Amino acid sequence: MVEDVLVSVIVAVYNIEEYLPRCVDSISGQTYRNLEIILVDDGSTDGSGRICDEYAAGDGRIRVIHKRNGGLSDARNAGLDAATGKYIGFVDGDDWIEPDMYGAMCEACEWERAQIAVCRYKQITGKGVIDASTGNSVLLSKAEAMEIYVCGDERYLIYNSVWSKLFLAGLIRGMRFPVGKNSEDIMFTTKAFCKMDRLVYLDTAYYNYVLDREGSIMNEKAGERRLKDEIPFWREQIAYIRDAGMPELSDKAAYHFYRRMLFYYIDFMESKQTREFAGKIVKQLREDKKQGQIGRIYRKEYVAAGDKVRMRLALALPGVYYYIVKLYDRYVIPIRTGEAWRKRK
């Protein structure tokens, strides 16, 4: 029976006393009761550790690990070492989940014999909630899921984040998050996907992701994070997929990496404080062009003609490329959006 399956839920906790009760209440209040809830207090200096202990005293399913501060990856690794469930999920301590999240995901894995379940998530912003759920569910083969994961598909929200997923413990046994790095989910999820046989996707927003919380990792030193952690992980992903025997998908990953690099360049150009990072993006792209990597990828038949033009312009005249993009965003997109709206009427 599905109810007999133990699900381990790992929560990394660090100085989030204001948000932690909402998070833990949402997990302990799941309609699926067979949970092992592991709260990893990563050396908190506020009241977070005390709150963890209070919850553990009132619920036998909750275990607390108090450890010296080592960062999010180190805390999650400590949780992985302690987990005993058949399936393992992750929740960030400043987020929360819907009551039926783990029941739906565990049942889907069991019925479909899938090693991973993925759900959609709501983005909680200061301006409101973004939720594009359809309520559909679909079983995907490894090849189908990998294609969506690497290339994107508006019908699915299959991204790097581990907190929107439930993993078969045996699938990720021995895997670890890279300590001391941000954007650690990129390679963890990539490795798990490369090992799986099938994935079940639930297009229901069971997870509530708090976007842009003040003081969160995503808000601190975006330039350093992208250059030091994110970009090397994307490059590692490309190599890993190739080594896993999927060279064509690796090339597609490289194509989407270069598109992402151009987005990063525009983002960094928006502020004087980050324009030095924009220059570093261009330097990396020009080095890849010199080595023949960009030319090889951009000769592929699936590369859009517009992307070829954008890359050539960005490499030759990055400043001009930036201003053209800004003019396009300011004048062309509003016109197209208005035309699309009028056609729907």
pLDDT at residue 214, rounded to an integer: 46
What crossing angle do the helices spanning 247-269 and 275-290 adopt, rounded to 10°?
A: 150
Nearest-5° Cα angle at 106, 123 to 192: 75
Domains of the chain, residue spans: 2-210, 221-344
pLDDT at residue 339, rounded to an integer: 47
Closest by CA to 294, choosing from 267, 227, 303, is 303
Compute, in degrees rounded to 10, the torsion defined by CA atoms 235, 240, 241, 242.
Answer: 90
| Phi, psi angle pair for 9, to nearest 5° | -120, 120
Q: How crowded is the C-beta side of 81, counted as CA atoms within 13 Å?
A: 10
pTM of this structure: 0.91
What percentage of the chain's residues is helix, strand, coil (to nearest 5)?
55, 20, 30
64 within 8 A of 56, measured Cβ to Cβ: yes
User: From CA 145, how far away is CA 130, in angstroms rounded?
Assistant: 23
**SS3 state at 165:** strand
Closest by CA to 186, choosing from 277, 246, 256, 120, is 256
Which residue's structure tokens are 């842009």? Answer: 212
119 within 8 A of 207, measured Cβ to Cβ: yes
pLDDT at residue 273, rounded to an integer: 84
Task: State the 10-residue block means of pLDDT for the chain, 345 residues long.
Answer: 90 97 98 98 97 98 98 97 98 96 98 97 86 93 97 92 97 95 94 98 95 47 86 97 98 98 93 90 97 97 96 96 88 55 50
pLDDT at residue 119, rounded to an integer: 97
**Two tokens, residue 25:** 């209440």
pLDDT at residue 219, rounded to an integer: 37
**Two tokens, residue 10:** 């790992």
CATH of domain 2-210: 3.90.550.10
List of E strands, the chain = 7-13, 35-42, 62-67, 87-92, 96-97, 116-125, 128-130, 137-141, 165-168, 198-210
**Two tokens, residue 234:** 């994307």
